[in-house]
Structure 1
Amino acid sequence: MTDTGMYITLLVVSIALTFGVGRLLVTAGEPFLQEVFQDEKVTRSVNLLLSVLFHLITLGVLAIISVVNIVGNDDPFQTLVARLGVVLLVLGIAYGVSMLVLIRVRERRRADQISEHVQERLAERSMGSTPAQGTAAQAPPAPPATPSQ
C-alpha cells in the first residue's frame, strides 16, 4: 500500500472510531444529564453541545496525529499501526475526560439538591416553632438592675 493509501486508511479508520465513540458518549451521557437537568430539552441541548465539543477536539488532535512523522519506522504499515494506537489512546482519554465531567456535574447537582433540601428543612423548623419559644430563645438576657442614686 502506498503512503497515500495508508494516510487515507488512517483518516477513515480514525474518523469512524471518533464518531463511534462520540455516539457512545452521547448515549451513555444522556442519563447523567437527564438526572442533572431534569428537563428533556435542556438535556438534549447540553448533550449535543458536549458531543460537538468532543468531536471537534478529537478530530483536531487526530488531524495533527495524521501528519506527525513517527521516527524509527520505515515500514508504512508499522507507522499506520503506531498512529492508530495513538488515535485509540487519544479517543480513550477524551472519552474518559468527558465521562468524568458528566459525573462531576451530576455530583455537584446532587450536592446542591441536598443543600437546598437541608435549607428548606431548617426553614420549616424555624417557622414551625411557636413565637414565644422563638422570641425567648432569641432575646438577649436582660442587664442586671443597677440601684438608682
Structure 2
Amino acid sequence: MTTEAYLAFLAVGIALVLIDGQIIYRSGRGYLENSYGDAAAGASMTRLVTVLFHLVTLGLLALLSTIPLGDGDLPGVVGRLGVLLLVLALVHAITLALLGRMRGEQVGEAAVANRRISAREADRMPTTTVTPVPGQDGRNPDVSPSLENRAPYSAS
C-alpha cells in the first residue's frame, strides 16, 4: 500500500470516527440531561463517554491501518474501510448500551429520591387513625389482602 492510499484511509477513517463521535455526543447529552434533571452532570457524563469512544475507535483505526489487506491500493483501502465501518458500528452499539445503562441508573436514583421525599411528606401529614389490614403492619398498607386466603396479595 502506498503512502497516499495509507493517508487517504487514515483521513477517511478519522473523519468517520469524529462524525460518529459528534452524533453520540449530541444525542447522548440530550438523553442524559433529561433523565436526571441536572444538565451539567448529564453533559459531563456524555463527554466522558464520548472521549472513551474516540480513544477506542482511533486506537482501533491505528491498529487496523497496519494490517495488510487486499492486493492493491484501492482494494486495500476499501477493505480496511469496510472493516473500520463494522468495528465502528460495534463500538457505537457498545457506547449506546453504556449511555442507556447510565440513564437507567439515573432514573432509578431519581425514583428512589422521589420515593424518600414522598415518604417524608407522608410522615409530616396529620396523623389519622387507620385500622391496619390484617396481616400487614403500619398505618399505610400498600395493598389489601386477597379475599380467598386472608393473606397479603401476591402477583404469582
TM-score (norm 2): 0.72
| TM-aligned CA deviation for residue 132 of structure 1 | 7.1
1:111 corresponds to which of 101, 108, 112: 108
Q: Secondary structure at the match of 1:74?
A: coil
Q: Does 1:130 align with 2:127?
A: yes
Q: Percent identity?
A: 29
Deviating 4+ runs (over 6 angstroms): 131-134
Gaps of 5+ in 2: 132-136, 139-156
Q: Deviations over 1:9-62 (max 9, x none)?
A: 100000011111111111111111212342333333322222221111110110
Deviates more, 1:79-88 or 1:42-51: 42-51
> Which ranges of structure 1 fall in alignment gaps of 5 or more residues?
139-149
- Distance, in Å, in 1 between the alignment partners of 2:33 and 2:52 is 19
The change in CA–CA distance for 1:38 and 1:133 in structure 2 (over 3 A counts) is closer
Number of equivalenced pairs: 133
In terms of mean alpha carbon deviation, does 35-44 or 12-21 score higher? 35-44
| Counterpart in the other structure of 2:50 | 51
Counterpart residue type for residue 105 of structure 1: M
Which aligned pairs between 1:1-149 and structure 2 lie closer than 5 A? 3-70=2-69, 73-128=70-125, 130=127
- Pairwise CA distance, 1:88: 0.6
Pick closer, same or farther for the CA change 1:81–1:22 going to 2, 3 Å.
same
Superposed CA RMSD in Å reads: 2.4
Amino acid corresponding to residue 66 of structure 1 in structure 2: S
CA distance in 2, matches of 1:46, 1:111: 16
Whose Rg is larger?
Answer: 1
Question: Could you say which structure has the greater relative contact order, defined with CA pairs below 8 angstroms and 6 or more residues apart?
Answer: 1
Q: Specify the SS of the correspondent of 2:68.
A: coil
Helix, strand or coil: the match of 1:69?
A: coil
Contact in 2 for aligned 1:36/1:105 (Cα 8 Å):
no
Structure-1 separation of matches of 2:119 and 2:38: 28
User: Residue 34 of structure 1 contacts residue 40 of structure 1 at CA under 8 Å; is this kept in 2?
Assistant: yes
Q: Point out the structure with the larger helix share.
A: 1
Q: Which amino acid aligns with 1:32?
A: Y
